[in-house]
Amino acid sequence: MRAGYLVFGEVETGGRVRCSGACNIVAASFRERSLTSDCGSGIPGAQPVSFCRRHIDELKRADYYLCEKSDGIRCLMYFTRDGDHEVHYLIDRKNEYYWVPGLHFPLPNDKTFRKFHTETIIDGELVIDTIGGKKILKYLVFDCLMIDNKPVMERTLDKRLAYFREYVYNPYRHLCKTFPQEVDFFPFQLEFKRMEFSYAIEVVFRDILPKLPHGNDGLIFTCRTSPYTFGTDTKILKWKPSEENSVDFRLKLEFPVISRSDLDNDSDEESDDEDDDEEVVDYDAKPSFHLYAYYGDQGEDSYQKFGDMYVTDDEWEELKALGQPLDEEIVECRMDEEKRWKFMRFRKDKKDANHISTVNSVIESIEDAVGQDELIRSWKEVRDAWKQRNAQQPGQQQQGQRPPQQGQQQQQQQRQ
């Protein structure tokens, strides 16, 4: 086991979880028994596609849940055991496994709180909430794959979340309320990610986003009736303002080649005339910044050049001043008004660049962008289509279609 921290992409956030890398045996066992080989080399979970204008019609055709896209760390959580002890791992975008001590998720109806869940997999993200000047690390759950060795991936999203709420989340909340003094010792708090019906677009922009205690960079629409899909899922839609749409590339630097005589002239050093015609790489010059997209596990052809990153002289000086390696790094880039790729940040949390299909999806989203106002204007048609689809559903099924926290609120009201 190797000790370490699971650290947020931006160092200044200060968010980190004390943990250790899981041994290869545990990681291999998890992949073989739970997620199979369809997951690829990246995070073994569902990935969204970028929102385009045609997706407005998709929101009218099918039931979708809506939530904000948090600025945090996406990771799966795996519950298992080591002998008589429960063990929990976080799995990051690099498909690396981190043991997180100090967590406890009791089984339902166990008054002793000693029995615990095993072979359980949930999907979520780590965020830092700032509340009353205090920073609180939280894991927000937005999906569930398996509970106590029983796969739920083929169930609809509302059912998956309902199972998680009843069997995992409610007992966990009961534990926290019974022993509130212990909550401060947890490495992080676990909560449901707040979800709304897809037609609550205006409410989300007006009432929810301005009050978020953590960073946000868009919206996520997830189809209620779809199973959980590993890899790219066309039923999960990621909306961002067009100016914030970005792609993760692998950066490769190419420095100019000059003759040794030119290099010596620049350095004012005497040279051997016989070597004047020798070509050397000028590492003091500004390089070309080539961007490569990922094409899958194809050996030497796994990465192919997609374009170039535009960097001004001042920006090059800023990059050099960072004092860190640049070549072969994963960089997040946006497209400017002149359709040039511009550097945004490094993605230390990612092992690979975006797949070419994701790159093309983002570019389509940029070129066929749906602005915030246009998205808001669609809410009535989306709502009417939802209501019409579900008009004949029995009341019990309607309740099952509610987002997790809304269903819980209704149950509490019925008890009162």
**With 80 as the cut, is the pLDDT of residue 313 above it?**
yes
Section 119-127 average pLDDT: 96
Q: End-to-end alpha-carbon separation of the chain, Å?
A: 49
Which amino acid does the sequence have at 305?
K
Contact 208/219 with Cβ under 8 angstroms?
A: no
Beta bridge partners of 98: 21, 90
Cβ burial of 394 (10 Å; 0-12, 13-18, 19+) is: exposed
Section 279-307 average pLDDT: 90
Contact 115/168 with Cβ under 8 angstroms?
A: no
**With 60 as the cut, is the pLDDT of residue 31 above it?**
no
Q: Identify the H or E element spanning 359.
A: helix 356-367
Q: Is 267 helix (H, G, I), strand (E, B) or coil?
A: helix
Instruction: Please state, in angstroms and as integers, the Cα–Cα distance from residue 156 to each residue in 162, 249, 282, following that order.
Output: 10, 33, 58
**With 60 as the cut, is the pLDDT of residue 406 above it?**
no
User: What is residue 20's predicted lDDT score, i.e. its pLDDT?
Assistant: 46
Contact 248/182 with Cβ under 8 angstroms?
A: no
Rounded distance, CA 308 to CA 292, Å?
Answer: 9
Max avg pLDDT among 206-220, 274-288, 344-358:
206-220
**With 60 as the cut, is the pLDDT of residue 140 above it?**
yes
Q: How confident is the model at residue 94 (pLDDT cuts 50, 70, 90)?
A: confident
- Cβ-Cβ contacts under 8 Å for 272 (sequence gap 6 or more): none
What angle separates helix 157-164 from helix 404-415, to the nearest 10 degrees? 60
Section 213-227 average pLDDT: 96
User: What is residue 349's predicted lDDT score, i.e. its pLDDT?
Assistant: 85
Rounded distance, CA 42 to CA 222, Å?
Answer: 21
Domain at 246-263+277-368: CATH code? 2.40.50.140
Rounded distance, CA 267 to CA 286, Å?
Answer: 16
Q: Which fold has domain 3-33+45-244?
A: D-amino Acid Aminotransferase; Chain A, domain 1 (3.30.470)
Q: What is the pTM of this model?
A: 0.80
pLDDT tens digits along 238-292: 999 888 899 999 999 999 998 876 656 655 555 555 556 688 888 889 999 999 9
**With 50 as the cut, is the pLDDT of residue 33 above it?**
no
Lowest mean per-residue pLDDT among 107-111, 132-136, 250-254, 409-413:
409-413
Rounded distance, CA 400 to CA 147, Å?
Answer: 19
CATH 2.40.50.140 boundaries in the chain: 246-263+277-368
CATH 3.30.470.30 boundaries in the chain: 3-33+45-244
User: What is residue 404's predicted lDDT score, i.e. its pLDDT?
Assistant: 72
Q: Choose, from 60, 69, 177, 348, the residue flagged as catalytic.
A: 69
Q: Is 415 helix (H, G, I), strand (E, B) or coil?
A: helix
Q: How confident is the model at residue 73 (pLDDT cuts 50, 70, 90)?
A: very high
What are the backbone angles phi and psi of residue 311, rounded to the nearest 5°? -130, 125
Contact 331/17 with Cβ under 8 angstroms?
A: no
- Mean of the per-residue pLDDT values of the chain: 85
Q: Between 350 and 77, whose confidence is greater?
A: 77
**With 80 as the cut, is the pLDDT of residue 302 above it?**
yes
Tell me the HSE value of 250 on the side-chain side, using a 13 A CA sphere.
17
Six token digits for residue 143: 């999906």
Rounded distance, CA 372 to CA 243, Å?
Answer: 12
Is residue 342 annotated as a catalytic residue, yes or no? Answer: no
User: What is residue 272's predicted lDDT score, i.e. its pLDDT?
Assistant: 56
